[in-house]
Amino acid sequence: MGQTPSKYSGEDGEKIHELLSDLDFKEIKLIYEYFKHELIYIVKSIHVDHLLEFLSSRNILDKELYLQMEKDLEPFEFSEKLVGNLLDAGKEAVIGFWDAIYDHQLHCSSDNLYTQLREVDKLGDGLMQQIFLEINEHPLTSELKEIQKHHRQHLLEKNIPRPSGSTGKNEFYVSNRYMDMIASYVRPFNRPSEHKLIETARKHEEYLRNELETVPLNRLFSWCHMRKCTPHAVMVTGVPGIGKTTLLQKLVCDWANGKFYQRFSFIFFLKFQDLNKLENMSLESMILQEYPYLEDQLGNILQNPERLLFIFDGLDESVHEINFKSSQICHDIKQVGDVGAVVVGLVRQSLLKGCSLLFTSQPDKLAGTDISDFQRVLAIVGFLPKERQLYIERFFMNKGLSDQVFSFLKENGVLYTFCYNPSYCWIICTVLSMFFKDQPTNDHQIMSSPPKTLTQLFAAFIARVLSNTSLDKISTRSLLTSVGWMAEHGVMNHITKFDKQTLAQFDVDMTSKLLPTLMKESTSSPEPSFSFLHPITQEFLAAVVYYIDYSPENLQSSLEKAKSYKNNRGDLFISFLCGLSDNTTRTILEPYLGDLSSDAAQEVLPWLNEYITEFQTLEKEKHLNVFFNFFEIQNKDLVLECLGTFRKFDLGGVHLTPLDCSVLTFILQSCGETEEFHLNGCKLRIEDIRKFAPALHTVHYLDLVANNIGDDGMMLVGSALKHPKCKIQNLLLSDIGLTDRACSYLGPAITDNQTLRTLILSYNKLEGPHFGDLMTALSSPNCKLEELFLNNTHLTDSSCSALASGIRNNRSLKLLYLSWNYLIGPHFGDLMEALSNPNCTVEQLMLQDILLQDEHLPSVVLLSNNKNLTHLELSNNSLTGAATPYLRDLILQSPNLKEISLFSNHKVPYEDRRMLVNLKTQKPGLRVSID
C-alpha cells in the first residue's frame, strides 16, 4: 500500500521547530498550554509506538515505561499524562515532542493537527502576541476600568451555573466541568425529535468511536481551517439538556475571572427568552435593557467593536423572526428596528463591524436555515468518559463514593450511556446518591437496590421529588393525573410547551406546591408558558398516567399511535409503558401515589407480544428498540416466551453502544440458548465484549467478525469456551485485531471445550511464539474442532512446525484454510509430511497464494498419501510447466481427490493446463479447475 497523502508537508514541522527554538521556556509554556487541548487529542488519535520510539531515541522519555502506562490508563488519561509530563520535562522535551508528532503524522490525516498547523502558519511571528492578548486585557481608561470591574462582578453573580431541576440537595457549582464537550459539526441540520433520547445516546457513542476535531471553550474564535479565516460569528448547537447554556455561563464566568478571552473588554450575554419581551428597539437600548449601569460609558465601550463579544443564547426559543439573509437589518447602534433586524445586523457586520458573536440553538431550529454568515458551526456532543467521571467526583465530593458510583455505572451500560448528557447525569447521580452514602437515610426507602433500567431511574427520581413535597397521596395523585394527561397529549402531538389555557383544560392545579418541581414557567413570551423540567420527564409522566388513571381504550390507541410515528419518536414512551408493567418498578411510586393499575400492565404485555409477530420484518435498528422494551420490563420468562422462537439475532453492521450491549446480554441470558448471534462490523471494543461475556456461552453460532476486540478480548471469549454449559459450535473471529498472544487464551479454552466445531481466525496476525499454544490445543484428544480458518494470518515458514505438530496428533479436523500466508521455507516440508499422514483427517486443504514454487512440488505430492483429502486449493501461486509432472502424479495418486483448483498459475503452459483438465477421464468425478 502507498502512503496516505498528507495535507501538509515536512516544512510545516520545521516552521514550528524554528519558532519554538527562538523562544525562552516561559514563552514556550504559553504556546504549549494554548495548544494543549489539540495536542492531547492528537496523541489520543494515533498509535503511540512510533511517537514513543522517536522521543526515546532523543532520550526524552523511557519508551517501555510509557508503553506500560498506556496499558494501565484510559486513552484520554494516558494522552493527558504524556502531554503534561513532557511540559514538565523542559524546553528540549517540548520541542522534541512537537518534532515527533510531525514526524509521525507526515503521511497521516489528523484534523486537530492540521488546524494547529494552519493557525501557526497564519499567525507566524504574531502567535505570541495573540496568546498574550488572550490572557492580558486591553488598556482602559480609569472610568472604563471601573465600569468593567462592576460588569465582571455582575456577570459572575448572575451566571454561576447550577444543575437544572435542583431539589435543594447536593447543589454544587459546575463551572469548571466542561472539558472537550464541543466538536466540529459539518453535516446538514435535520429535524430530529426532541425526545429521541436513545437514538441520540447511540449517536453520541458513534462520536466517541471516531476522531473528533474538538474545539475547546477558550478557542471558539481561533483560526478555522474549514473556512480559512478567524471567525467572528460562531454557532453552537446541541440537543436539550446537553449543556449549551451552562457552557456559555462557564465562558462568561471564566472571562469575568480573567482566565481567558481577555481580548474582549466587554461581554454582553443576552437570552432570547428575555428578548422575546421586547418589541422595536435599537442595539443601544437592547444592551441597556439588560445592563442599565453601562449607560454613562456605553458610547465609549462601543467605540472599539473588535473588543466586544455578544452572546445570544437560545435562538430556538425566539418568538421573533430571525432571518440571517434578510435585507431588513439595522446599520446604526441607535437605529430602531425589531429584534431580528438588530441581531442580523450584528451577524452581517452592518452593526459594529469587527465585533464577535456567539449563538446557541437546538439543531431542529436550524433545519433549512441559511447560517452561512457563521464561520464556525459546532455541536456539543456531551460528556466524554473522562468528563463523566469528573462530574461524578464533583457531585459526590467524596472519592470513595464517586468511585463506587462510577464503577456501578460502568457495569450498567444503560445508565452509563445516558451520562453523556449533563442533565441526565445529574438525575442519575441524584438517584444513586440514595444508595451510595456513608450513612443510611430515608431516601433508601424509595428503592431497595440501585436502578437497573431507565424506567426505574425515573420512577426513583419522581419518587424523590414527591417525597420532598410532603403532600398527601390524594393531592399528589390528583395533580399527577392532570399533569400526566397533559404530558400524554404533548407526547402524542409533539408539544413541549403549554400555555395557561392548556393547563386549565387538563385541570392542572397551578397553586400546587408540587407543580414547580415538575414544570418550569417561562415568561419570555408575551404569554407565560410551561414546560417540563426535563423532556424525558414528560414522556415518563405520560406513561405513568395510564397506571394512575387506567383507560383501556386510550391505552390501546396511544400504543398504536406511538408505534406508527416515524423517526422512532414514540419509542421512549412505549419503553416507559413497558417498564411500568413490572410490579417491582411500580412499587417505587406507590408509597406516594397509592396503588397503580395492574390492569394496564396486563394490557401492555399482550400488545408487546403481538408486536413481536412483526419482528422479522423490522429493520435491525428497530430490533434494538424491541429488545430495549423487554429490558425495561426485566422479566426473563416473558422474554423467553416472546422471543424464544426467534433463534437468530442478526445485528451485523449496526454500531452497538454500551446500552445496546447491556440490553442484548439481558436478552441472550433470558433466552437460555440462541442458535445464531451475528455481531459482525458492530464496532465492538473490549469493554463491549466484557458486557456480553456472561451470555456468550449460550450461543451456538457466534459471529464477532470485523470488530476491534484485540487479544484481551480473547480472554473473555476463552472464558465463554471454558464455561461448563458452553454451546458455541461456530466461532467467527476474523479481522478483530488479534496477535499470537490471543492464542495463549484460545488454546487452553479449546482444550477444555467439547462443543466447538468451526473456528475462523482469518485476517489477524498470529505469527509468533504463542501460536504454538493454539496448535497444542489442536493436538489434544479433547479437541473436536472440524474446521480451522487461518487464511491471511501472517503465518510464515516458522509456524509450519507448530502446524505440523497440531495436525499430526489431531483426529477431528476436516477443513484447513492456510491461504494468503507465506509458508514457504525449510519447515514447509514438515507441514506437508503431517498432512500426508494416512491418519490425517483433513479433507479440504486451502493453500492459495502461499508463494508456492516448482521446487516445493515434491513435498506437495506427498499429499497423495492422505486417504481423506477430497479438495485441494493451489491457486494464485508461482507454478510453471516444471510443476506439471508433479501435479499430474498428485492428481492421479490421491485416492479420493474430487477437486483441485489451479487458477492464476499463468506460467503453466496452455498445453499442460489442458492435459491436467483432461485427467478427469482417468478419474471419474474429478474436477480440475484451471484458467
Q: What percent of the chain has pLDDT over 70?
A: 88
- For residue 637, with 0-12 CB atoms within 10 Å meaning exposed, 13-18 middle and 19 or more buried, which class applies? exposed
Q: What is the residue-averaged pLDDT of the chain?
A: 86
pLDDT number for residue 174: 43
- For residue 470, with 0-12 CB atoms within 10 Å meaning exposed, 13-18 middle and 19 or more buried, which class applies? exposed
Average pLDDT over residues 269-274: 90
- pLDDT digit string, tens, across residues 311-328: 999 998 888 888 998 888
Number of residues in the chain: 931
CATH code for residues 148-382: 3.40.50.300
The model's pTM: 0.80
- pLDDT digit string, tens, across residues 406-445: 999 988 888 988 888 888 888 999 999 988 875 444 444 5
Q: Which residue has the higher pLDDT, 385 or 632?
A: 632
DSSP letter string, 748-815:
HHHHH-SS--EEE--SSB--STTHHHHHHHHHSTT----EEE-TTS--BGGGHHHHHHHHHT-SS--E
- pLDDT digit string, tens, across residues 828-855: 999 999 999 989 999 999 999 999 999 9
C-alpha cell at position 613:
409477530
pLDDT number for residue 118: 62
pLDDT number for residue 13: 60
Residues 426/392, Cβ–Cβ less than 8 Å: no
pLDDT number for residue 458: 95
Q: Which residue has the higher pLDDT, 615 or 304?
A: 304
pLDDT number for residue 526: 59
pLDDT number for residue 444: 44
pLDDT number for residue 200: 67
Average pLDDT over residues 443-459: 82
Task: Check pLDDT > 70 for residue 269.
Answer: yes
Task: Check pLDDT > 60 for residue 7.
Answer: no
Span(s) in the chain for CATH 3.40.50.300: 148-382
- pLDDT digit string, tens, across residues 597-647: 999 999 998 888 888 887 777 788 888 888 999 999 999 999 998 887 788
**Amino acid in position 83:** V
Q: Which residue has the higher pLDDT, 126 or 754?
A: 754
Average pLDDT over residues 575-580: 95
Q: Which residue has the higher pLDDT, 443 or 346?
A: 346
Task: Check pLDDT > 90 for residue 225.
Answer: no
Q: What percent of the chain has pLDDT over 90?
A: 53
- pLDDT digit string, tens, across residues 734-789: 999 999 999 999 999 999 899 999 999 999 999 999 999 999 999 999 899 999 99
Strands 182-184 and 376-380: antiparallel
pLDDT number for residue 378: 87
pLDDT number for residue 165: 44
Cα gap 779→806, rounded to integer Å: 5
- For residue 334, with 0-12 CB atoms within 10 Å meaning exposed, 13-18 middle and 19 or more buried, which class applies? exposed
- pLDDT digit string, tens, across residues 516-536: 999 988 765 557 788 888 878
Task: Check pLDDT > 80 for residue 223.
Answer: no
Residue listed under C-alpha cell 459572575: 156
